[in-house]
């Protein structure tokens, strides 16, 4: 038996990732007023208006933002269209509020929420919806980043990225260090004008495609980060790990990168003091801001990613119940 199999934290993470797809528990928690009140630390409410309010506060504090309209694995064409329309409304509201100037606020898309999994025509539907969102982002003078999901969608997502970049070269990519393939993907994408967010990854993946040990995932993150920092693109360092944040700064300096030629990214509600510290030091610090009703799967993956988030959630339920 591997040592990782005996680690309770590994069991907990795997269990939470399985629960992220448990529809019965999702329905129970989504209807519970107590849990919804706790979720507001990590999710910027249900509405466009509330999301705009939250990012306005972040911008006022010197931070940047990327907004995700929650939802994934859509198997209904009408829902995919609804998600597209939500982004169009959001981008219009951000532009009207003056929040897109200078790249202050952009949006992040999950292609599975735009129809990617809808059979033979799914990729075309997701691409068409993403095109409309990218054009709206261009009109608003901001950018779009394509979130990465589980490994079965990686090739499809990178293919759609290539299509979109023909018209909008600034479309950002996300790569996950727990996949064996990612170091090579970083080399392929570390070119001039290429925006790449590097994260560890939060989906439950098989050993055939992904590192299972946290230390190996971290080592891969550093290897990938070295490639991106040495390249000609724009690295986006998505981590809350103090060691990896420090390493990113060292690598940026070693490669002669000035502030503004890369950025840090963290999730709404996680290490806000560190976010403010980095911003106060003159670093570009972007906060990932999710909003909408479909928060359950997102929240479960956040708790699996960091045990302290689970403890916070359970403690809050106990004290508010």
Q: What is the pLDDT of residue 68?
A: 97
Q: How confident is the model at residue 319 (pLDDT cuts 50, 70, 90)?
A: very low
Q: For residue range 29-58, what is the model confidence (pLDDT) as tens digits?
A: 655 554 556 677 889 988 999 999 999 999
Q: How confident is the model at residue 104 (pLDDT cuts 50, 70, 90)?
A: very high
**Max alpha carbon distance in the chain (Å)?**
57
What's the chain's average pLDDT? 88
Q: Which of 107, 118, 43, 27 is nearest to 77 (CA)?
A: 118
**DSSP-assigned beta bridge partners for residue 292:** none
Tokens of 179: 């996949």
* End-to-end Cα separation, the chain, in angstroms: 41
Q: How confident is the model at residue 310 (pLDDT cuts 50, 70, 90)?
A: low
Distances (CA, A) of 277 to 62, 63, 236, 252, 305: 10, 10, 17, 18, 23
Residue 23 phi, psi dihedral angles, 5° rounding: -70, -30
Residue 132 pLDDT exceeds 70: yes
Q: What is the pLDDT of residue 3?
A: 45
**DSSP class per residue in 295-320:** -HHHHHHHHHH-HHHHHHHHHHHHHH
Count of other CB atoms within 10 angstroms of residue 209 = 14
**DSSP-assigned beta bridge partners for residue 237:** 198, 264
Q: For residue range 16-28, what is the model confidence (pLDDT) as tens digits?
A: 455 445 566 555 5
Tokens of 49: 């208006």
Q: Which residues are marked as active site? A: 147, 197
Q: For residue range 156-207, what is the model confidence (pLDDT) as tens digits?
A: 999 999 999 999 999 999 999 999 999 999 999 999 999 999 999 988 899 9
Q: Which of 153, 161, 141 is nearest to 179 (CA)?
A: 153
Q: What is the pLDDT of residue 202?
A: 82
Comparing 130-139, 232-241, 305-314, which segment has the lowest mean pLDDT? 305-314
Residue that has been written with the tokens 């290539």 in this structure = 162
Q: What is the pLDDT of residue 24?
A: 62
Q: What is the pLDDT of residue 295?
A: 76
Considering only residues 41 and 121, tell me which one the structure prediction assigns the higher pLDDT. Answer: 121
Q: What is the pLDDT of residue 321?
A: 36
As a whole number of angstroms, the distance between CA 53 and CA 75 comes to 31
Residue that has been written with the tokens 């940026």 in this structure = 252
Mean pLDDT of 91-103: 95
**SS3 state at 258:** coil
Residue 296 pLDDT exceeds 80: no
Under a CB-based contact definition with an 8 Å cutoff, are residues 43 and 290 in contact? yes
Q: For residue range 195-209, what is the model confidence (pLDDT) as tens digits?
A: 999 999 988 899 999
Considering only residues 264 and 35, tell me which one the structure prediction assigns the higher pLDDT. Answer: 264
Laid out side by side, the sheet with 144-146 consists of 144-146, 105-109, 64-69, 285-291, 263-267, 234-238, 195-199, 173-176
Tell me what percent of the residues of the chain surpass a pLDDT of 90. 72
Burial 36-64 (b: 16+ CB within 10 A, else e): bebbeebbbbeebeebbebbbebbeeebb
pTM: 0.86
Angle at 99 between CA 94 and CA 102, to 5 degrees: 130
Mean pLDDT of 227-255: 97
As a whole number of angstroms, the distance between CA 76 and CA 95 comes to 29
Which one-letter DSSP state was computed for residue 257?
P
Residue 5 pLDDT exceeds 80: no
Residue 269 pLDDT exceeds 90: no
Mean pLDDT of 238-261: 97
């Amino acid at each position: 038996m591997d040592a990782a199999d005996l680690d309770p934290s590994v069991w907990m993470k795997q269990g939470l990732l399985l629960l992220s797809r448990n529809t019965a528990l999702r329905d129970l928690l989504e209807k519970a007023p107590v849990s919804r009140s706790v979720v507001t630390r990590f999710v910027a409410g249900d509405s466009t208006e509330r999301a705009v309010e939250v990012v306005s506060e972040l911008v006022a504090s010197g931070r940047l933002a990327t907004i995700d309209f929650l939802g994934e694995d859509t198997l209904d064409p009408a829902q995919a269209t609804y998600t597209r329309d939500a982004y169009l409304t959001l981008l219009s509201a951000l532009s009207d509020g003056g929040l897109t100037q200078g790249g202050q606020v952009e949006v992040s898309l999950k292609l599975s929420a735009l129809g990617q999994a809808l059979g033979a025509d799914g990729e075309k539907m997701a691409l068409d919806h993403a095109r409309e969102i990218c054009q709206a982002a261009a009109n608003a003078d901001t950018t779009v980043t394509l979130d990465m999901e589980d490994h079965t969608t990686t090739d499809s997502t990178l293919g759609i990225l290539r299509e979109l970049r023909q018209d909008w070269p600034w479309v950002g990519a996300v790569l996950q260090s727990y996949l064996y393939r990612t170091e090579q993907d970083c080399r392929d994408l570390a070119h001039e004008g290429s925006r790449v967010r590097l994260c560890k990854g939060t989906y439950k993946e098989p050993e055939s495609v992904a590192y299972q040990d946290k230390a190996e995932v971290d080592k891969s993150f550093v290897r990938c980060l070295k490639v991106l920092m040495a390249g000609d693109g724009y690295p986006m360092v998505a981590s809350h790990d103090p060691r990896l944040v420090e390493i990113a700064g060292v690598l940026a300096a070693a490669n002669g990168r000035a502030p503004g030629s890369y950025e840090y990214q963290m999730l709404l509600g996680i290490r806000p003091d560190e976010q403010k510290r980095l911003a106060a030091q003159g670093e570009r610090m972007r906060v990932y801001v999710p909003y909408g009703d479909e928060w359950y799967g997102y929240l479960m993956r956040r708790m699996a990613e960091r045990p302290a988030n689970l403890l916070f959630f359970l403690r809050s339920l106990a004290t508010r119940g």
